[in-house]
Structure 1
């Protein structure tokens, strides 16, 4: 009898490994989630989790991907991972803060200042 092990749910994926269509869909869903009302936000996050294969309530893309001072990291990750670093809080009427993945948060943290 063969023993089958189940794959562990992913907590981080590389944006660049998504197909071009899935990258576009991810970007659109994140934009919608950023401006979603309280009843629409979680269904959008659930769709993002399925799209990326991340077992998470909330997902984020590492803020280093567009940051002029960042490393170009392409991580999409569970926002509840230990070591994630907030680099900017959400703007008024927006839901999403900018976060660094745990690797970037460890390697080159740039916490927000008050």
Structure 2
């Protein structure tokens, strides 16, 4: 039996425009909060808006790839790629595993 991918992932483009707006607002709030409890609550709220079920304390990100990938995913995935560290905010820019693999530089 083949197992389904355990990667929690959602498609931003499948959200309604209103849900996209709420998701973006919640992620902006998460990016700017200094309270860890509030950050955790905002991550859970953003995940719920995207239709993802994440464990308490987990995080999600919208793919920051320049090809405009609509993936909402777990940035702790070992195949994800950090493009830019947090830079004084909470959310760094991270490529989803698919984009990290697709756009990997070949030597």
TM-score calculated relative to the size of structure 1: 0.78
- CA-based RMSD of the aligned residues comes to 1.8
Q: Shift in Å at residue 80 of structure 1?
A: 2.3
C-alpha contact (below 8 Å) 1:13/1:77 kept by paired residues: yes
Q: Distance in 2 between matches of 1:59 and 1:20?
A: 19
Q: Distance in 1 between matches of 2:80 and 2:7?
A: 16
Q: Shift in Å at residue 10 of structure 1?
A: 6.6
Does the C-alpha gap of structure 1 residues 9 and 89 become closer, same or farther in structure 2, counting only changes over 3 Å? same
The residue number in structure 2 matching 1:88 is 84
5+ residue gaps, structure 1: 1-7, 65-69
Structure of greater Rg: 1
The residue number in structure 2 matching 1:53 is 51
2:36 counterpart of 1:36: no
Deviations 1:77-114 (A, max 9, x none): 1222231100000112x10010000000111147xxxx
- Matching of residues 20-35 of structure 1 within 5 Å: 20-35=17-32
5+ residue gaps, structure 2: none
Displaced runs of 4 or more, over 3 A: none
User: Number of matched residues?
Assistant: 97
C-alpha contact (below 8 Å) 1:9/1:55 kept by paired residues: no
